[in-house]
Amino acid sequence: MQNITHIYFDEIDSTNEELKRRYRSGEKPAGWTVVSAGHQTAGKGRSGHQWKSPTEDSVATSMIFYPKVRIQHVPRLTILAGMAVASALEKLYDLPTRLKWPNDVLINEKKVCGILCEMEPDGDHAAYVVVGIGVNVHQKEFPEEIRGMATSVDLALQKSGRDQKSSRRDIDRQIWLEFARLYEAFEKTEDLSALQEEYNSRLVNVNQTVRILDPLGEYTAQSLGIDKQGDLLVKKEDGSLVAVNSGEVHVRGIYGYV
């Protein structure tokens, strides 16, 4: 099992940025380093968006490591991050977590976390990879624009009728334990062959219709689950099989898609 050093800040700009600063200043410990924060003043989301981490209501955590796997396999780590969150919440709170390809973690059809992986190339490897995860934990409501598609751990516990208090610290710790378990399997084969089944058992809409937003043209297909590369295998209406590895996939009933 990996040796994980955990550093906590009450407040920081962004846990991803803190780890990148440490790396640039020459810090490169042998094990994995996790930085977590009670509040981020400049949390980063995907595609240059902001990520809000309300004070002590969410988990904002990032881990830096130096994977042995070759660079072309690094994008798959984001799939492991989604699996780690789903697995952690299920183990800690027995919540019914599902995955929407590639790495959205859903509870009751709503998104409970965001994942941002960053890396710097160095030849055929990555100099480092930072995996950043933000989990909605204690929030009881969300801004208007995301209200219909976001949930939190506490809301999910409430909905399942349990009077249980969730713990940001436990969630943070369990996520990285799960990530270490998953990465160990991934590193051996540099693919998801050992994890495909676990992923597909959580995937929403297997064997049902999905809408693929391919930049070359949208189409409807039947989702068959991921292959060992982490691509989403779909069967088009003409019977042909396609491995989707980019673009958006819309699933009926999720985020208002009908």
Kindly list the distances between the CA atom of residue 109 and the CA atoms of 44, 50, 208, 257, in Å, as whole numbers in the listed order.
Answer: 24, 23, 15, 11
3-class DSSP assignment, residue 146: helix
Site string for ligand BTN, 95-134 (x = CB under 6 A): -------------------xxx---------------xxx
Q: Which CB atom, from 115 or from 182, has the smaller least distance to ligand BTN?
A: 115
In the complex, minimum distance from the CB of residue 36 to ligand BTN, in angstroms, rounded to a whole number: 8
In the complex, minimum distance from the CB of residue 189 to ligand BTN, in angstroms, rounded to a whole number: 27
Are residues 36 and 60 in contact, defined by beta-carbon separation less than 8 angstroms?
yes
In the complex, minimum distance from the CB of residue 2 to ligand BTN, in angstroms, rounded to a whole number: 19
Q: Indicate the pairing of strand 4-12 with strand 32-40.
A: parallel
Q: Which CB atom, from 102 or from 114, has the smaller least distance to ligand BTN?
A: 114
Please tell me the distance from the alpha carbon of residue 198 to that of residue 69, in angstroms, as a whole number: 21
Q: Which CB atom, from 174 or from 234, has the smaller least distance to ligand BTN?
A: 174
What value, to the nearest 5°, has the Cα angle with vertex 257 and ends 255 and 258? 140
82 binds ligand BTN per the rule CB under 6 A: no
Q: Which CB atom, from 62 or from 152, has the smaller least distance to ligand BTN?
A: 62
Residues numbered 124-183 forming contacts with ligand BTN, rule: CB under 6 A: 132-134
Residues numbered 35-74 forming contacts with ligand BTN, rule: CB under 6 A: 40, 43-46, 49, 51, 53, 60-62
Site string for ligand BTN, 176-215 (x = CB under 6 A): ----------------------------------------
In the complex, minimum distance from the CB of residue 5 to ligand BTN, in angstroms, rounded to a whole number: 17
DSSP assignment of 225-237 equals EE-TTSPEEEEET
Q: Which residue, chain included where needed, has tokens 């994980």? A: 4
In the complex, minimum distance from the CB of residue 177 to ligand BTN, in angstroms, rounded to a whole number: 17
Q: Which CB atom, from 42 or from 243, has the smaller least distance to ligand BTN?
A: 42
Residues numbered 8-27 forming contacts with ligand BTN, rule: CB under 6 A: 14-16
Q: Which residue, chain included where needed, has tokens 């990530």? A: 179
Beta-carbon contacts of 216 under 8 Å, excluding residues fewer than 6 positions away, are none
Alpha helix locations (H) across the chain?
Answer: 15-24, 77-93, 153-159, 168-189, 196-202
In the complex, minimum distance from the CB of residue 117 to ligand BTN, in angstroms, rounded to a whole number: 9
Phi, psi of 213 (to 5 degrees): -95, 70
Q: How many CB atoms lie within 10 A of CB 54?
A: 15
Judged by the rule CB under 6 A, the positions of this chain that interact with ligand BTN are 14-16, 40, 43-46, 49, 51, 53, 60-62, 114-116, 132-134
